[in-house]
Amino acid sequence: MGETLPNDVIYVAVNQDVRESKSTLLWALKTLPVKKLCLLHVHIPFSLNSSSCGLDESEIDAIQESELKSSYDSLHKYRDLCTNKGVDEEDVDISLISGYGVGEGIVELIYQNNIKKLVMGAAADPHYSRGMSITSRKAEYVSQHAPHCCKMWFICKGKLIKTREGRFDIGNPSDSYSLSEFDGFAQKPSKGRGRDDDETDSHKDQHSKKQERDQTPKEVRKGEDEPKSNDSETESPPEDFLCPISMEIMRDPNVAADGFTYEEKEIRRWLNGGNDKSPITGARLAHRHLTPNYTLRSLIKDWLHHHPNYKH
């Protein structure tokens, strides 16, 4: 198979319980022209407090690590479903983030990965009825807060319930995404949040500002993309562009099992050195797989293009 562009990737949001999202994944595999597929999952750890539950910190960590491992086990079962349907294993990626509300987490991952095509559940399968609309609060939240350029299919019991067309004519696509607006989402997983479900009423408004920004297309000016000659040699790149291990700007950023992004050669050196814990949190890594962060790589490349005097 030839090189697949990021825009060709079909993302499918899945729950930890394989029975809940199996029909959604199978719909995507049967209906859409899948060249490359990424399983999207937001892991919500149990909310445990040592003072209230009577467990010490090590026991709480063990429970939460076990829960995280269960999430990855489920994702591997979803991947097996894909390979059983003829998709090469190397063409099935996994993108997991931990510690946020599900709807909010999916929207963050959409911005983080510059997702253009997303399939997710419109409601739990038992709630299916002919002529139904979206009833899942998570799906409704994602539909309202995801960027306009992301096309979405909402599925229930293996049937298409709603399609939200992607709109690529609103402003400059590069203007709709900014790491500074989501500072540290992939770099700062939180701990001890409650489990999210369709009955959750509280959703933060942290993304509403994106929907309110001016959508007027910018005038294309001659020389707009040329490197700036008066750039300061001492200007530093955004913190998110730096590898947490080497603290140098990344060229090949990859996301590890802990949800953090590292320079590939640095995190591989860490793993090959016999380390099985996160360099940042110290928690045991559920696996050694790395996922290329294409969006961050593109942003770094663009930043370097416009800052030719940066010494690295």
Q: How far apart are CA 254 and CA 175, in angstroms?
A: 23
Q: Which amino acid is at 250?
A: M
pTM of the predicted structure, to 2 decimals: 0.54
How far are the Cα atoms of 36, 38, 148, 167, 222 from residue 172, in angstroms, in the given order?
25, 25, 11, 11, 16
Q: How far apart are CA 218 and CA 99, in angstroms?
A: 36
How far are the Cα atoms of 23, 97, 156, 160 from residue 132, in angstroms, in the given order?
17, 30, 9, 10
Say how many C-beta atoms besides its own lie within 10 A of residue 198's C-beta. Answer: 16
pLDDT of residue 168: 53
Cβ distance 263 to 298 under 8 Å?
no
In the numeric block, the tokens 């859409």 are attached to 32
143-159 pLDDT, tens digit each: 999 888 899 999 999 99
In the numeric block, the tokens 């590292």 are attached to 262
User: Which tokens in the block code for residue 153?
Assistant: 């299919």
134-145 pLDDT, tens digit each: 999 999 999 999
Q: Reading across the β-sheet that carries 261-263, which strands appear in turn?
A: 261-263, 253-255, 291-292
pLDDT at 6 over 60: no
28-81 pLDDT, tens digit each: 999 999 989 999 999 887 666 656 566 777 877 788 788 888 889 999 999 999
